Structure formats: structure tokens, C-alpha cells
Amino acid sequence: MASFESLYSENALNMKKSVIRELLKLTQKPDIISFAGGLPAPETFPVEDLRAAADVVFVKHATKALQYGTTEGDPDLKDELIKFEARQGVKIGQDHLLVVSASQQALDIVAKVFIDPGDYIIGGHPTYLGTIQAIQSYRGRVLGIPFSKADDGFDMDELERRYASALRDGKRIKFIYVIPDFQNPTGICWSVEKRKALLEFSYRTGLPLVEDSPYREIRFLGKTLPSIFQLDQEGENRGNVLNFKTFSKILAPGTRMGWVMANPDIISKFVVAKQAMDLCTNVFAQKWIAEYLKTGKIYSVIEHTCGIYRDKRNYMTELLEQHMPKRPDISWTKPEGGLFLWIRLPEGIDTDKMLLKAIERKVAYVGGSSFYFDEPEHNTMRINFSYSSLEQIEEGVKRLARVVAEELEGR
Ligand SMILES: Cc1ncc(COP(=O)(O)O)c(C=O)c1O
């Protein structure tokens, strides 16, 4: 077979395969209980109502839905998005909005627009793997900031220290990237104080602040906190924040539909970058989601989804409490939303190596090292609670706890 390896661009050579996607293939055997992926529960998809909305598109707007659309996005869908956001207190106009092929595309666009080879972004240590991949594909790097002991956002002293040291070393930093609501992979939710402090840091440094919010509406415990985008809007309104949203976790990821909210200048730049990628987001799908949103049923779907995830998360943490070895250096986050929790094991345990044993025991997770741009912490793991049934959660946690206990005994 012909090999074009020697012709690949520097950018392509710098792209890394997603360990998670490779692993998912391994863990898809039916007898393995997988906490590795990040899939929503299929029982939350409102199949019949989505089918009815697709029928409306064919009956009412078939030719428009089958035609090219504008890069900015379908105005009908944008109207519905404006109403959806207004219910959460976010006031935006059409020119503050760009419809994208889900938030992963927004991540690629923001990297494309800001990153030259060697540039840095400021991000979590750990952070979302798909963002690391997007940054790497433009040969960018991540200046990783650890989270505070209270799990309420970055360690802000470390942020100041690492930022100052990066500037002294001549590093070019282009933007800040955070997932304040139930971060992937840790489940951490930022406090209002830390959100405000990061916004102030963005104002002071002049760096754009990318707020990635796929899990924002998936809050099943506690009170919703203002997004950083909102804090800017309601405060100095300087337009520093770019907020990425998606239907992947609140409706269905197969829709591949998301939206960016930002100041109109940034939106225009993003539009040009997106044009070269796909001209416009799938027009049929935009009309389809617009028709679905008009029914107003999404709010009860979100409520129902949150209820299911609350039960699964509570069950998983109860079982971890019961079955995991009891030691002060074994802990896990107790997220109030999202899809994941993050387990810390004693120093010296390598969860990547342990995964092979876990797979033998027919349970899977993602080793935490995948979520660090550099200097990974090997004694961590991400486990997903949204996808498995309660029965699978029970059996899977028992198997996982046994693997951890054996690993500790074997040391
Ligand atoms: C933090 C974060 N951002 C973005 C995405 C991409 O989501 P999508 O492209 O489906 O909207 C994910 C997916 O899991 C995620 O966890």
C-alpha cells in the first residue's frame, strides 16, 4: 500500500491519536462494563419527538433544509437558541451567535484562529483531551494549572506564578481555556469567587477566556451558578469571554450541533475559519433542532436526564464508599453535575498499567494520564456514570474496587 507519511504536514505529524477512542474499541466487548467512554444514557434521547420534528421539516421546509445555508447558522435555530439562553438569564443577539457542528468544532476553530506553532494556552492540569488534541494539531501547547485542594477551580496563586514565569521565559500565551461546570475529566465545578477571579485575570492580561460548557445544564444537585460569560455580561461587559455550548449532553450527541456565544468581532473571525472547514453546519439538522426546540420539550428532557444521572451518580459514590479500600490517599470527587467522577489512588499506582488487569476483570475506565498535556499524574482515573445501568454500576464498581485492592496488595 502506498505510504504518504513523508509528505504529511508538520501539523499532521503533531496530531495525536485519541487514546480514549482507541480504548473504547477494546472495551466495547459486551461482557466488559465500561466506565471509560463519555456517552450520555440512550434512554434519555426523546426519539419520538425528534422523529416528529424531522417530519415537520420535510413537510414545511424541505427545499430550504436541503439547500446550502449561511455559515453563521440558520436564523430560525438562532432565534430558538436566543430563547433557550434567555431562560437562563443570558441576553444575546443573532450577531453574538455562531452555530457549529457541536463544540468539538468550536475547539478546532478557536485553535485555528489563535494558535501559531509553539504558542500556549492556559488550561487545567488535567483538562479535556479533545482540547489538547485540537491545540496539538496546530502545534500549540498547554500551560497546565492545577486545581485548588478545595476542588473549586484553579489554584489561583499557581496561575499567577506559572503565568509570570511563562512570560519571563518568552512564551506566547493566546487564551485561557476552562470548563467551569462539571469539568471533563474531574467533575469539578468552579465557585463564583473563582469564576470572578478568572474573569478579572482575563481583563488584566487581555487574554480571551474560552468557557466550554457542555455540561452546564446537567446539574442534578445544588444551585446553578452564573457562567463566566454571564458574569462578564452583567458586569463590565468587555466581551472577553467565548462560551461554547452543545446539544450533545442535553439532547443527543448524534445531532452534532452546538453554538458559540461571543462578541461579534470574534464571531466574524470564527465564521471565516469555519467556512474553510464545512461551509455551514448541516442545514437539515439545524431546521430539525429548531422545530424540536419550538415544542419546548427540551426542558423536561433536561430535567429527566438530570434525575437519571443523579441516581446513577449517587449509586456509584455509595458503592465506591462501600467497596473501595479505605485509605486517606484514596479519594474521588463528588460532582453536582456532569457525567464523570475522578478517582485519586495512592502515589506509585499507575492506572494505565492497571487498566490491563481491569480489562481482564471485565471493567474499564480511562487512566487519568490521558488528560494532561505534560507531566501526567499516573495515579488518577476518570469514570463515567451516565451510560451504564444501575446493575452495571453495581457490578462494575465491585470489580474496579477488587482490581485496586489487588494492585495495592501486589505492591
Ligand atoms: C469539555 C468538552 N468539550 C467539548 C466536548 C465535545 O462535545 P461535542 O463536540 O459533542 O459537542 C466534550 C465531549 O465530551 C467535552 O467533554
pLDDT tens for 73-116 read 999 999 999 999 999 999 999 999 999 999 999 999 999 999 99
Ligand 1 pocket mutation, candidates 243, 248, 384, 387, criterion most atoms within 8 A of CB: 248
Ligand 1, residues 20, 246, 382: which to mutate, most atoms within 8 A of Cβ?
A: 246
**Predicted local confidence at residue 205, as pLDDT:** 98
pLDDT of residue 213: 98
Domain 12-45+300-409, what architecture? Alpha-Beta Complex (3.90)
Q: How far is the CA of 408 from the centre of ligand 1 (A)?
A: 34
pLDDT reported for residue 27: 67
Question: Which pLDDT does position 108 carry in this prediction?
Answer: 98
Q: Which residues lie below 8 Å from residue 51, measured CB to CB, with a gap of 6+? A: none
Alpha carbons 277 and 405: distance in angstroms, whole number: 48
The answer to whether the CB of 214 is under 6 A from ligand 1 is yes
Q: Pick the more confident residue, 187 or 29.
A: 187
184 pocket-lining for ligand 1 (C-beta < 6 Å)? yes
Pairing between β-strand 209-212 and β-strand 173-178 as defined by DSSP bridges:
parallel
Tens-place pLDDT, residues 362-403? 999 999 999 999 999 999 999 999 999 999 999 999 999 999
* Alpha-carbon Rg for the chain in angstroms: 21
Q: How sure is the predictor about 15, in pLDDT bands with cuts at 50, 70 and 90?
A: confident
- Give the number of the atom of ligand 1 that is nearest the alpha carbon of residue 107: 4
Asked whether 166 and 176 are in contact (CB, 8 A), the reply is: no
**Structural domain boundaries in the chain:** 12-45+300-409, 47-296
> What is this structure's pTM?
0.96
- The mean-pLDDT minimum among 6-10, 267-271, 321-325 falls in 6-10
Position 24 confidence tier, pLDDT thresholds 50, 70, 90 = low
Find the helix packing angle between 298-323 and 390-409, rounded to 10°. 30
Q: Residues near 25 by Cβ (< 8 Å), separated by ≥ 6?
A: none
Cβ burial of 270 (10 Å; 0-12, 13-18, 19+) is buried
Q: Is the pLDDT of residue 23 over 80?
A: no
Please count the CA atoms within 13 angstroms of the CA of 216 that sit on its side-chain side. Answer: 21
> Does residue 349 register a pLDDT over 80?
yes
* Nearest ligand 1 atom to alpha carbon 128: 1
Q: Which of 352, 251, 270 is nearest to 100 (CA)?
A: 270
Check pocket membership of 248 for ligand 1, CB cut-off 6 A.
Answer: yes
Atom of ligand 1 nearest to the CA of 105: 9
Query: Helix, strand, or coil here: 388?
Result: coil
Which among 220, 212, 215 is positioned nearest to 249, based on CA atoms?
215
pLDDT for 287-312, tens place per residue?
999 999 999 999 999 999 999 999 99
pLDDT tens-digit map of 216-237: 999 999 999 999 999 999 999 9
- Dump pLDDT digits (tens) for 106-157: 999 999 999 999 999 999 999 999 999 999 999 999 999 999 999 999 999 9
CA of 409 to the centre of ligand 1 (A): 37
pLDDT value at position 147? 97
Instruction: Name the CATH topology of 47-296.
Output: Aspartate Aminotransferase; domain 2 (3.40.640)
Ligand 1 atom nearest residue 253's Cα: 10
Q: Which of 104, 183, 210 to mutate to test the pocket of ligand 1 (most atoms within 8 A of CB)?
A: 104
Q: Cell numbers of 104, please?
A: 468539538
Give the chain's mean pLDDT: 96
Which atom of ligand 1 is closest in space to residue 103's alpha carbon? Answer: 11
Q: Beta-carbon neighbour count of residue 269 at 10 Å?
A: 17
DSSP state of 221: S
Residue 88's pLDDT is what?
A: 94
Alpha helix (H) ranges present in 154-213?
Answer: 156-168, 192-205
245 or 13: whose pLDDT is higher? 245
Q: What is the DSSP string of 198-210?
A: HHHHHHHHT--EE
Tell me the CA–centroid distance for residue 103 and ligand 1, in Å.
6
Report the b/e string of 164-188 with b at 16+ CB within 10 A: eeeeeeeeebbbbbbbbbbbbbbbb
252 CA to middle of ligand 1, Å? 12
**84 vs 257: CA distance, rounded Å:** 14
Q: What count of Cα atoms within 13 Å lies in the side-chain half-sphere of residue 2?
A: 2
pLDDT surpassing 90 at residue 26: no
8 A C-beta contact, residue 323 and residue 299: no
What whole-number distance in Å separates Cα of residue 280 and Cα of residue 46? 26
Residue of the nearest CA to atom 6 in ligand 1?
Answer: 104
Q: Which three cell numbers stand for residue 89?
A: 438569564
pLDDT, one tens digit per residue, over 234-279 is 999 999 999 999 999 999 999 999 999 999 999 999 999 999 999 9
User: In whole angstroms, what is the distance from residue 319 CA to residue 187 CA?
Assistant: 18
Residues 6+ apart with CB under 8 A from 240: 199, 202, 203, 207, 208, 209, 232
